[in-house]
A and B are shown apart, each in its own frame.
Chain A
Amino acid sequence: MCGIVGLFLKDKSLEPQLGALLSEMLVTMTDRGPDSAGIAIYGGGAKGHGKITIQSATPDADFKGLDAELGKKINAKVSSTVKSTHAVLDVPADKIGEARVALAELRPNVRVMGAGEAIEIYKEVGLPIEVLKRFDIASMGGSHGIGHTRMATESAVTTLGAHPFSTGPDQCLVHNGSLSNHNNLRRELIRDGMRFETENDTEVAAAYLSSKIAHGQNLGEALESSLNDLDGFFTFVVGTKDGFGVVRDPISCKPAVMAETDQYVAFGSEYRALANLPGIEDAKVWEPEPSTVYFWEH
Chain B
Amino acid sequence: MHSTNLATSPLHQVNYAPKVFDLSKNTLREFNQALHEVKDASTEPNWEVINPKGSHAVAVGAEHPISIDVQGSVGYYCGGMNQLSTITVHGSAGPGVGENMMSGTIVVKGDASQYAGATGRGGLLVIEGNASSRCGISMKGINIVVRGNIGHMSAFMAQSGNLVVLGDAGDALGDSIYEARLFVRGSVKSLGADCIKKELRPEHIAILQDLLDRAGITDVKPEEFSRYGSARTLYNFNIDNADAY
- Is the CB–CB distance between A272 and B92 below 8 Å? no
- Is the CB–CB distance between A272 and B75 below 8 Å? yes
CB contacts under 8 Å to A, within B82-138, are: 92, 94-95, 110-111, 113-114, 132-133
- In the bound complex, CA of A255 to CA of B114 (Å): 8
Q: Is B167 an interface position by the 8 A CB rule?
A: no
Distance between B119 CB and nearest chain A CB, rounded to angstroms: 16
Inter-chain contacts of B114 with A (CB < 8 A): 252-253, 255
**Chain B 50-75 per-residue mask, 1 if CB under 8 angstroms from chain A, else 0:** 00011100000000000000000101
Q: Is B152 an interface position by the 8 A CB rule?
A: yes
- In the bound complex, CA of A28 to CA of B139 (Å): 32
Distance between B24 CB and nearest chain A CB, rounded to angstroms: 10
CB contacts under 8 Å to B, within A258-275, are: 270-275
Interface residues of chain A: helix, strand, loop or mixed (majority): loop
Choose among A272, A276, A287 the residue that contacts B113 (Cβ–Cβ < 8 A).
A287
Interface residues of chain B: helix, strand, loop or mixed (majority): loop
- In the bound complex, CA of A276 to CA of B52 (Å): 11
Inter-chain contacts of A274 with B (CB < 8 A): 54
Choose among A257, A271, A290 the residue that contacts B133 (Cβ–Cβ < 8 A).
A290
Q: How large is the interface on A (under 10, 10 to 19, 20 to 34, 35 or more residues)?
A: 10 to 19
Inter-chain contacts of A252 with B (CB < 8 A): 114, 133, 152
- In the bound complex, CA of A251 to CA of B115 (Å): 12
Q: With contacts defined as CB atoms under 8 Å apart, how many contacts are there between chain A and chain B in the complex?
A: 43
- Is the CB–CB distance between B73 and A275 below 8 Å? yes
- In the bound complex, CA of A251 to CA of B172 (Å): 11
- Is the CB–CB distance between B111 and A271 below 8 Å? no
Inter-chain contacts of B55 with A (CB < 8 A): 272
Distance between A4 CB and nearest chain B CB, rounded to angstroms: 15
- In the bound complex, CA of A255 to CA of B134 (Å): 13
Inter-chain contacts of A287 with B (CB < 8 A): 111, 113, 132
- Is the CB–CB distance between B152 and A271 below 8 Å? no
Closest 10 CB pairs of A and B: A272-B54, A271-B54, A275-B53, A275-B54, A271-B73, A287-B132, A270-B75, A272-B75, A270-B54, A252-B133
Q: 12 interchain pairs (CB within 8 A)? A: A252-B133, A270-B94, A271-B53, A271-B75, A271-B92, A272-B75, A275-B54, A276-B53, A286-B111, A287-B111, A287-B132, A290-B133
